[in-house]
Amino acid sequence: MSSSEGSSLPLISEEGVPILKNGSKWSVALFFSVFVACLNSIQYGYHMSELNAPGSVLSCQISEPIHNYPGGPKSYLDTWFGQNGYAQCIPMDDSQIGIITSIFSIAGLIASIFIGGITEKFGRKTGFVCSSLAYTIGSMIEFTSNSFTTIAIGRFVSGLGAGAGIVTTPIYINEISPVELRGVLGSMNQVSINGGILLTQVLAINWSNDFQWRLILAVGAIIGAINFVAAALIHESPKWVALKGNYTGAFNILTSLRNGDDQLSTSEMNVWKMEDKAHIDFIRQHPHLENLQFYQYLTDKNYFSSRIIAAGVMIGQQFCD
């Protein structure tokens, strides 16, 4: 083999995955796809902490008037919200505040149980569409709420979006990323969650008052709507497309994500085919794992370490809230 022929072969990682050797590791399609995926994580962090700062004002426990409101209204009734029938606050005690805070996580758990099967059948983009739609609808319900029941419903719907997004995002990013960027891009999921928490706190500096607390909830709806539109514009996961047997479609998507590198895309798809074959062989040897049920996961001692790690990550995340 000549040196010119040898230099054209893709580098292979220890895991047997091709490594991008020439040109930029980034492409516009890859950057945009990761950005859209991370919008789901931003929303997760945002909604997780959106009630922290304005909670006392929202629940009528304290009053925080503002004297430099745009247009200079003298009372809440002079604001757009007051003139359109939105209550200045929603009377709630501490237990009710606890309910609307925790119901977000409960809904997230419910959605996370089912979204995996949905994305396996209908694609990763479907997971993003479901997530962003739930975030948008939930945020709008919260934004327009005048009662404890309504805001609790809004938080529950937003929680469904959180559960769908937090499961779909890391899978999607891993499946579209070049092997040498998986660590960096994978970490963007957690960075984006904390970015969402930070965004909420920054907005709350000026908006945690009697007149403007609803704006914090409105921003959640705006981000959700942007995410919903953007989710329709990104590529489907090429690995998922390949696993469904559409290798031509997967190749075209992967080539776009890899800056038009046909050779790298071909090599990467060959690895996927080998992984798919190995998975099929494994399932044939262990048929009871083909359709693992949630109850089985919770009770099977083989998944004890996995359960501990997952619980540890979720508990640790609360310290960032």
Question: Following DSSP, what letter does each residue of 83-99 receive, concatenated?
Answer: HTT--S-----HHHHHH
User: Residues 127, 115: contact at Cβ < 8 Å?
Assistant: yes
User: Residues 89, 58: contact at Cβ < 8 Å?
Assistant: yes
Show the domain range for 78: 28-238
User: Residues 215, 207: contact at Cβ < 8 Å?
Assistant: yes
CB environment 299-321: b (16+ within 10 A), e (fewer): eeeeeeeeeeeeeeeeeebeeee
Residue 254 lies in a domain: no
Query: What pLDDT was estimated at residue 228?
Result: 97
Residue 57 lies in a domain: yes
Task: Give the chain's domain count.
Answer: 1
Instruction: Name which of 135, 172, 141 is nearest 154 in CA terms.
Output: 141
Query: What pLDDT was estimated at residue 68?
Result: 60
pLDDT 10s digit of each residue in the chain, 321 long?
433 444 444 444 555 555 555 455 678 999 999 999 999 999 999 999 999 989 999 999 998 887 565 555 568 888 899 999 999 999 999 999 999 999 999 999 999 989 988 999 999 999 999 999 999 999 999 999 999 999 999 999 999 999 999 999 999 999 999 888 888 999 999 999 999 999 999 999 999 999 999 999 999 999 999 999 999 999 999 999 988 889 899 999 999 998 887 887 777 877 777 776 766 666 667 666 566 666 677 777 777 787 787 777 666 666 655
Residue 258 lies in a domain: no
Residue 67 lies in a domain: yes
Pairwise CA distance, residues 165 & 237, whole Å: 15
pTM value? 0.81
Residue 182 lies in a domain: yes
Instruction: Give the domain CATH number at 84.
Output: 1.20.1250.20
Residue 64 lies in a domain: yes
User: Residues 177, 120: contact at Cβ < 8 Å?
Assistant: no
Residue 293 lies in a domain: no
